[in-house]
Structure 1
Amino acid sequence: MALALLGALALTGCSAVKFGYEQGPSLAYWWLDGQFDFNDSQSTRVREALDRLQRWHRQRELPLYADLLSRSATLAEGPIEAEQVCKLQSDVQQRLDALMQESIRQLGAVAVGMDARQIRHLSKHLEQKNAKWEDQWLQGSASARLQRRLDKAIERYADFYGSLTTPQTQLLRQQLEQSLWSPEWGRQERLRQQRDLLGTLMRIDLENLSARSTELALLGVWERWLEPRSAADRQRWQDWMAQGCKNLAELHNSTSQEQRQRAARRLRGYEKDLRELAGRS
């Protein structure tokens, strides 16, 4: 849920952010129900928990998100350093951690009632999602896969900066060619995270864990998603994140003043929307 909310903020226009946030509990319910196939009792509890979660998030988190966007807009107006990007990234991660912890606190009790059928339903759902993911990122030649990644990156950055120049597109291509991330590694991490989640849900069911023990178990899943147990995998994650900070700073510093102002305006537009949403009861 946290990643979906962050992605919605980054990829949609301002009016869509407002609409999507107001509809958040309903959208989140249908997304979760598609994965877990709730029974009637669970459906009621999930809807109530999502309403509480949104109230908490509106009051507690939206102002902090708006502050982050304000800082980002100010930074976007000039050149930036990789360390500044990493600091923002760390601050965003703190907000995602807070959201995930509260989500688990509100919804953890529902996980206590998950049965084997629902876990199988989730497993099948993930298999279908994995097949689509692999079709997108693992099929075709290496050059075709690289081009798909480049097209996505261009689309994402052009949404903020406007049309990219040929040198900027070439820079993006070079960064992707040298990236520590690969579709094969992405698939490995994706499957690792899914196995961890499914295994934890099965343990909750089999051991009949209490609500508090369930919350702690699910928090452990979230922590391991972001910090793999293997030292080599942890180092690769850290190196990849640092590379991402460097790459974003490098691309931003290649932009014109007009492109930077466009990015700053977009970020301030998001900030304005979030402050308005935070002010609604």
Structure 2
Amino acid sequence: MAQIIAARFWRPLALAAVAALLLAGCSALRLGYQQAPSLIYWWVDGYADLDDAQSGRVRQDIDRFLAWHRQTELPAYADRLRQWRALAAADLSAEQVCAQTEVLRTVATRLIERGHEPLARLALSLTPAQLQHMERHQAKSNEGFEKDFLRGSAEQRLERRLERAVDRYETIYGALSNAQVAQVRQSLRDAPFDPARTLADRRARQAELLGLIRQLQAAQAGRTAGDGPAPRAAAQALQAWLQRGLFAAPSAGGEAAGWVRHGCQAFAALHNSTSAAQRQHAQQEIRRYEDDLRALAAQD
């Protein structure tokens, strides 16, 4: 449920890797979490092309972050999954589904509050060459988005989106019926999604990040003269950028909020069409993830 609601709205840098790992419902959750230090490190390194000194600091920061996360966050995630398991047994309203977006917002805020200072330290240490590497990485990522959502005919683009959506739903419910697949297709067709606008917003946000880093670095260089921000101020500026990337509240205006509202309605409609066997499958899957999280939280 969380993955489907949040998939298009929650992208706070490396923290997203942790969130995706915990909320995406992969079948090898325990193994994936145990590999999280390496997975997150290689994600950050691919984004910024770290040097040796940066690599050591980033690995230490990741280890500290995940130690906190294992002890503090995983038990709360498991408790939330137990509540979702109960919800999965009955019909759902769009309002009930949208209420979970606030849960996800709270989770994301906690991750940002814990992780923004190490990210700010890294940002202040990036060289001009590394910032150029980030720009190239962003451009490559945007090419992938364009390929997935803007190339081909409207029907071809819809079918690609349908494949992803059905895969996510089947992770929860097992195989969908032909009627349910048709229902998902129609909900995607009706969705307030403008990929060209989304790509433009994505590029603007990426440019904003690069500009913010360069601005903070310039101000930090002048700090010896007493006119630059302290590292804490730089961390707060990056924290604000990260928080602006959280998916919009359903009650807010704008494209993202419309997407969330539509997603809540679509998920509730699909869930309410499921059979007793599909709901049982959902409860079993959620219970399996819950057990995995509790086992991970209990590890030293």
TM-score bucket (shorter structure): over 0.9
TM-score of the superposition, structure 1-length normalised? 0.93
Q: CA shift at 1:11, angstroms?
A: 4.3
State the partner residue of 2:174.
Answer: 162
Matches within 5 A, 1:23-38: 23-38=35-50
Q: Is 1:243 paired with 2:255?
A: no
Q: Separation in 2 of the partners of 1:5 and 1:182? A: 28
Q: 1:111·1:214 contact (CA, 8 Å) conserved in 2? A: no
Q: CA shift at 1:280, angstroms?
A: 1.1
SS at match of 1:226: coil
Q: Separation in 1 of the partners of 2:24 and 2:111? A: 19
1:5 to 15, 18, 40: 18
2:231 to 211, 225, 229: 211
How many residues are paired up? 276
State the partner residue of 2:184.
Answer: 172
2:208 to 191, 196, 203: 196
Q: CA shift at 1:84, angstroms?
A: 1.1
State the partner residue of 2:5.
Answer: none
Q: Separation in 2 of the partners of 1:234 and 1:224? A: 14
Gaps of 5+ in 1: none
The one-letter amino acid of 1:217's match is A
Q: CA shift at 1:38, angstroms?
A: 1.3
The one-letter amino acid of 1:263's match is A
SS at match of 2:254: helix
State the partner residue of 1:224.
Answer: 244
The one-letter amino acid of 1:265's match is Q
Q: CA shift at 1:17, angstroms?
A: 1.1
Indicate how the Cα distance of structure 1 residues 130 and 224 shifts in structure 2: closer, same or farther if over 3 A, else same: same
State the partner residue of 2:55.
Answer: 43
Matches within 5 A, 1:1-281: 1-11=14-24, 13-14=26-27, 16-208=28-220, 209-226=229-246, 234-281=253-300
Q: CA shift at 1:41, angstroms?
A: 1.3
Alpha carbon RMSD of aligned pairs, Å?
A: 1.7
SS at match of 1:180: coil
Greater per-residue helix proportion: 1
Q: CA shift at 1:257, angstroms?
A: 0.8
Deviations 1:62-99 (A, max 9, x none): 11111111111110111111111111121022111111
Q: CA shift at 1:186, angstroms?
A: 2.4
Q: Separation in 2 of the partners of 1:53 and 1:165? A: 42
Deviating more after overlay: 178-187 vs 64-73? 178-187
Deviations 1:233-278 (A, max 9, x none): 9522222211111111111000001001101111111111011111
Q: CA shift at 1:10, angstroms?
A: 4.5
Q: 1:138·1:183 contact (CA, 8 Å) conserved in 2? A: yes
The one-letter amino acid of 2:282's match is A
Q: CA shift at 1:18, angstroms?
A: 0.7
TM-score of the superposition, structure 2-length normalised? 0.87
Q: Separation in 1 of the partners of 2:206 and 2:26? A: 31
The one-letter amino acid of 1:118's match is Q
Q: CA shift at 1:28, angstroms?
A: 0.7
